């Protein structure tokens, strides 16, 4: 099989396509022949060493495909099933991966391999952000950064389906048009204007009850300043770098604020949680409340280009690799 392997942390030159032996799946594993592979920002953190992993290693957490063989203890998945997964094991950037049955989801026939591979991790992330970290309700106006990105392009229609108002940020006017088309109520180009000033203006200085911030270092302080009294900052990514330490007394001074730094993997820890989150997400897709835009498609061998496009902020919606 073909597989991307990294031996050192670093730039995209660390991504090497290799021919490797396929191992038989272990007792509890399912061997999946990939039809499409998802690319996520976390893959860039893992490649660069921001989130260290054991090396040498495969990369990629998410793919969709067809079951090619199964271990002897596998009960609920059979050869030929259409399936997908998004929480590892690392090594989705490959033609095949052996994945524990507990992490494998059957893919509803209405959803294509490309849509699933491009969106499952981002969709489950959106589910836990809007429903579990903070329960967004129709009376809320929320702030969500990078709404033209992968997670953002799912979060906007999901928040709209709940009935909430969404203030989104983007890095260019082209992305602004895209986010408006996705249904975002107010879109701010934070490279041109202060999102903090705009959010306070839009909310008549009340601020928002929740700010979802995946940009990190350059936005976290202003995101805190966008919150209403007892508001919550959900810092869930570091695209611009890791957030500087927050002075706990500032949380008091700025209005008894809360801060959380969640990761999806703690919200889909059990099989029940994974099935619940994916069930909610698949329903949103099947009911057409959310559409998945695969705007960037690369061959597996072009993975470096995929990473460069995302990190240089040239992508909108989802990015996938074809094995």
Ligand X SMILES: NC(=O)c1ccc[n+]([C@@H]2O[C@H](COP(=O)([O-])OP(=O)(O)OC[C@H]3O[C@@H](n4cnc5c(N)ncnc54)[C@H](OP(=O)(O)O)[C@@H]3O)[C@@H](O)[C@H]2O)c1
Cβ-closest position to ligand X? 149
**CA 262/CA 265 separation, integer angstroms:** 9
Q: Which is nearer to ligand X, 67 or 220 (CB)?
A: 220
**CA 196/CA 317 separation, integer angstroms:** 24
- Candidate list 105, 208, 226, 264; residue touching ligand X; CB under 6 A: 264
Residue 150 touching ligand X (CB under 6 A): yes
Cis ω for the linkage preceding 281 (within 30 of 0): no
Residue 86 touching ligand X (CB under 6 A): no
Backbone angles phi, psi at 98, to 5 degrees: -95, 120
Total interface residues for ligand X by CB under 6 A: 28
Would strands 208-213 and 227-235 be described as parallel, antiparallel, or unpaired? parallel
Q: Please name the residue ranges forming H helices in the chain.
A: 41-48, 113-128, 150-162, 173-182, 195-202, 220-225, 248-253, 271-286, 303-311
Stretch that binds ligand X, among 21-29, 49-57, 99-107, 169-177 (CB under 6 A): 169-177
Judged by CB under 6 A, the chain residues 208 through 227 that form the site for ligand X are 214-215
- Candidate list 239, 243, 268, 304; residue touching ligand X; CB under 6 A: 239
- Candidate list 36, 226, 315, 323; residue touching ligand X; CB under 6 A: 315
Q: Which tokens go with 243?
A: 């957030």
Residue 311 touching ligand X (CB under 6 A): yes
- Candidate list 131, 228, 240, 309; residue touching ligand X; CB under 6 A: 240
The minimum distance between CB 188 and ligand X, in angstroms, equals: 10
């Amino acid at each position: 099989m073909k597989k991307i392997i990294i031996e050192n942390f670093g730039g995209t030159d660390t991504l090497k396509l290799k021919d490797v032996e396929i191992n038989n799946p272990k007792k509890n594993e399912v061997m999946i022949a990939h039809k499409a592979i998802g690319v996520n920002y976390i893959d860039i953190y893992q490649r660069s060493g921001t989130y260290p992993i054991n090396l040498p290693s495969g990369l990629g957490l998410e793919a969709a495909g067809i079951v090619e063989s199964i271990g002897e203890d596998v009960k609920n998945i059979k050869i030929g099933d259409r399936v997908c997964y998004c929480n590892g094991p690392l090594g989705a950037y490959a033609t095949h991966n052996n994945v524990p049955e507990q992490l494998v989801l059957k893919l509803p026939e209405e959803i294509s391999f490309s849509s699933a591979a491009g969106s499952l991790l981002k969709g489950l992330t959106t589910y836990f952000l809007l429903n579990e970290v903070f329960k967004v309700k129709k009376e809320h106006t929320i702030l969500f950064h990078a709404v033209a990105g992968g997670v953002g392009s799912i979060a906007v229609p999901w928040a709209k389906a709940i009935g909430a108002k969404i203030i989104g940020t983007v890095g260019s006017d082209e992305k602004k048009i895209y986010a408006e088309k996705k249904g975002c109520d107010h879109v701010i180009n934070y490279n041109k204007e202060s999102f903090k000033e705009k959010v306070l203006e839009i909310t008549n200085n009340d601020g928002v009850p929740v700010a979802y911030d995946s940009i990190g270092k350059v936005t976290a302080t202003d995101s805190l300043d966008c919150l209403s009294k007892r508001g919550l900052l959900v810092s869930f990514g570091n695209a611009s770098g890791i957030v500087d330490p927050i002075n706990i007394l500032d949380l008091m001074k700025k209005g008894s604020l809360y801060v959380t730094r969640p990761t999806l993997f703690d919200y889909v820890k059990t099989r029940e949680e994974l099935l619940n989150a994916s069930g909610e997400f698949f329903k949103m897709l099947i009911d057409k409340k959310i559409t998945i835009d695969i705007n960037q498609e690369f061959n597996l061998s072009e993975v470096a280009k995929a990473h460069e496009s995302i990190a240089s902020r040239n992508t909108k919606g989802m990015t996938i690799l074809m094995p």
